[in-house]
Amino acid sequence: MGSSVPRSFLDLPLEIQFLVFANFDCARDLRALALTCKKLHHAVSNDGWRRFVERSFPSLSIPVPNGNRHTWKQLAESLTWQSRCWDRRALQFQVLLHSPHGNEVRRQRGNARGKSLFQSVVDAHFDPATHEELVVWGAGEDIVARYRERQGSNQSSKSSWHSVNGKALGFRAAYDDVNSIKIVNHHTGRAIVTGRHNGMLSLISAEPDRFGQPISDFKFNSPETLETNNEPENVSSLDVFQHGSNMKIAAATRNSLAIFDLSGDITAELEPSATFDLKTEIFSLNTSRLSRARWMEQGETIALALSGSPSPLRYLSLTPTGITHHTAAKNASIAAQFELKDNGNICPNSLEPVYRTGGSRTSLLLSAWRDGTIRLQDLRTPSTFDAVYQDNVDPWVDAEALMTYGTERFIAGGGDGLTVKIFDFRWDRPYHHTSGLPCLNRSPFPAPSQAFLKNPTNTALGSERCKQGRACHYHEFSKHIYYRPNAKFYLSRSLINSSASIWSLARGSDISPNFYIGISGGVIEANLEPCPNNYPPDQPTTDPNFGFPDWRGRTADGSGYMSRQVSPALMEIGDGYAYNHNDRPIRLPKLKDCGGPPSWSGQRLELSKHHRLDMNYQMDADFV
């Protein structure tokens, strides 16, 4: 006789059970299954949550858990919580502004640059094992750092501020400003690579007890450059590739690129392992210059943004025999469809690699252009993944900075003052938070303002409740891009300096529920946080595992900064694809102010969970 037929789900092999775990639509159902018996609880705890996370968020770079403060179950809880916040536009903001009375250096800065403020460049790192976050930014010639360690959902974080006083080290405002900054893991501990406008590239300690102490200087500019110009070229950008103990730095000036390998040996001055003179190899016009360099393909390729060049997007291939340069491949059908012209008008700081599987190998690149488009393309081949995105409401505004979250979404900032845009890549996503909501016999509400996309509910209808093989009306259409328009947050209303601009974007990790925005004169922290039912909230409203409950707290005395809550205004800006007829006049969508918790009760309160937007943006008319 053959083996007996399994009589229940418990009798199935673990491999079959794991396939079921991975294909649950929401974490709630997997949790309910784990509570049915000890055997299933053990199976779900051991491998079920991992399978669910890997299947639901395949493109995010998710650190493997290694302790009690970082488990697969916690990752599932936090990532699904964050996905719901992203989709409902549940974002809160706080600005950290340099206080004019906290530092005499800033009061004198006007002598060098009139009344202008420094352009803040920011980077961040979050360690899920220790729950410690480090954020650093260049504040003119100074460097500022804030350390913050999460203690629990209801406890205050441990935090400290540190800084490097540029004037005390002989640096001058404007000329010696920090314009590139990166956090790295060095064998001496955490460290910071800084590039200054004066051409100086340095590695300094980022450990709190020796913050700012020099580790190494990089011999960047060649003697020929110094002899010709009598001064070094400024560092226009730097990028770090780190894989285990292997760390390489790509530093760019106007005309050249240098690559440094950071070994375990500490030396006072590091020389480049390879250099590339773009003026000799690429540039045919004196007006062309290198503006940005980014690592791709596991450190085998470097993407370049060139200003003033007829082919502004290039890449370098690093081979054992040397460095070769190539023009990025062009998709003729995409260029013709959207009438794209590569006339050199690329936004120099916008290069951002896009990772499809959460690893470190990719040839997909996102870049912003002066015609208002944001282009996704494969550098090496005319790929079918190529796409063009645009703000459908204000299509001509460009983006100075981009930041991606796998292939789920990307953030764009700059171009039109203090505005942050959230774009959906529009690729199929395996997880939608609406799958965990009860069935509803109506379309998602309120109806979005879509200038060019057709309403799908005019051609197909779901059923009243989800049945085998068919979703209910609400679940059928809540996943459609028509009901998931992109959004723009206006942040300037709460700031004194309404002319401030966005210069950089950074996040601690793909699982961090917050990110940072480098602006003129300070830094804005953005946190995923839904509006509570009441104030003060009866339960924590930040990420249950990786959030900082006291993120709105006052800045430390002596930090030289003051904090202020930013009251955002929200506008939905269409489906995000670029169209040839984007220049047509359209009806301007409503601008929604962040209004706080509405006084819903009864059926209205229950329906508010199905509302497309966070409670901060819900109005009574939305439910009619």
278 pLDDT higher than 90: no
The pLDDT assigned to 534 comes to 72
- Inter-axis angle of helices 14-22 and 49-56, to 10 degrees? 40
Topology at the third CATH level for domain 9-86: Monooxygenase (1.20.1280)
31 pLDDT higher than 60: yes
Rounded CA-CA distance 330/381 in Å is: 7
Q: How many CB atoms lie within 10 A of CB 605?
A: 13
Rounded CA-CA distance 413/505 in Å is: 8
CA angle 206, 208, 212 (to 5 degrees): 45
Three-class DSSP category at 510: coil
Residue 334: pLDDT band (50, 70, 90) is confident
The pLDDT assigned to 238 comes to 93
The pLDDT assigned to 365 comes to 95
Dig out the tokens for 74 from the structure.
């916690």
With a CB cutoff of 8 Å and minimum separation 6, the contacts of 592 are: 569, 570, 571, 613, 617, 619
Task: Judge if 9-86 and 89-428+486-498+512-569 fold alike in CATH terms.
Answer: no
Q: Which of 120-134, 329-343, 548-562 has the lowest mean pLDDT?
A: 329-343
User: What is the reported pTM?
Assistant: 0.93
- Inter-axis angle of helices 49-56 and 72-88, to 10 degrees? 30
112 pLDDT higher than 50: no
Residue 436: pLDDT band (50, 70, 90) is very high
Rounded CA-CA distance 616/593 in Å is: 8
Q: Which of 50-64, 489-503, 513-527, 585-599 has the lowest mean pLDDT?
A: 489-503
Residue 3: pLDDT band (50, 70, 90) is low
519 pLDDT higher than 60: yes
Q: What is the number of H-type helices and E-type strands within the chain?
A: 12, 32
Rounded CA-CA distance 134/365 in Å is: 27
Dig out the tokens for 243 from the structure.
């894989």
pLDDT per residue over 247-275, tens digit each? 899 999 988 899 998 876 666 788 899 99
The pLDDT assigned to 380 comes to 85
2 pLDDT higher than 80: no
Cβ proximity of 138 and 194 under 8 Å: yes
133 pLDDT higher than 70: yes
% of residues, the chain, pLDDT over 90: 49
- Is the four-CA dihedral 40, 41, 47, 51 of positive or negative sign? positive
The pLDDT assigned to 107 comes to 36
Dig out the tokens for 481 from the structure.
């891009």
Could you say which DSSP state residue 144 is in?
Answer: E
Residue 458: pLDDT band (50, 70, 90) is low
pLDDT per residue over 592-621, tens digit each? 999 888 888 888 888 999 999 999 999 999
Q: How many CB atoms lie within 10 A of CB 575?
A: 22
The pLDDT assigned to 269 comes to 83
349 pLDDT higher than 50: yes
- Inter-axis angle of helices 27-34 and 72-88, to 10 degrees? 150
Topology at the third CATH level for domain 89-428+486-498+512-569: Methylamine Dehydrogenase; Chain H (2.130.10)
Q: What is the mean pLDDT of residues 15-32?
A: 82
Residues constituting the chain:
624
Could you say which DSSP state residue 94 is in?
Answer: E
Rounded CA-CA distance 148/269 in Å is: 32
Q: Show the DSSP H helices in 308-450 as ranges.
A: 332-338
Q: Where are the domains of the chain?
A: 9-86, 89-428+486-498+512-569
Q: Which of 199-213, 322-336, 477-491, 520-534 has the lowest mean pLDDT?
A: 322-336
22 pLDDT higher than 60: yes
pLDDT per residue over 390-409, tens digit each? 999 998 889 999 999 999 99
pLDDT per residue over 473-504, tens digit each? 899 899 999 999 999 999 987 676 656 789 99
Dig out the tokens for 48 from the structure.
């079920």
Q: Which of 138-142, 176-180, 276-280, 376-380 has the lowest mean pLDDT?
A: 276-280
Three-class DSSP category at 2: coil
How would you label 133-146 residue by residue, b for 16+ Cβ within 10 Å and e otherwise?
bbbbbbbbbbbbbb
Residue 419: pLDDT band (50, 70, 90) is very high
The pLDDT assigned to 223 comes to 45
Rounded CA-CA distance 117/560 in Å is: 15
Residue 69: pLDDT band (50, 70, 90) is confident
Of residues 595 and 110, more confidently modeled: 595
Rounded CA-CA distance 301/245 in Å is: 19
- Residue 563: φ, ψ to 5°: -105, 150
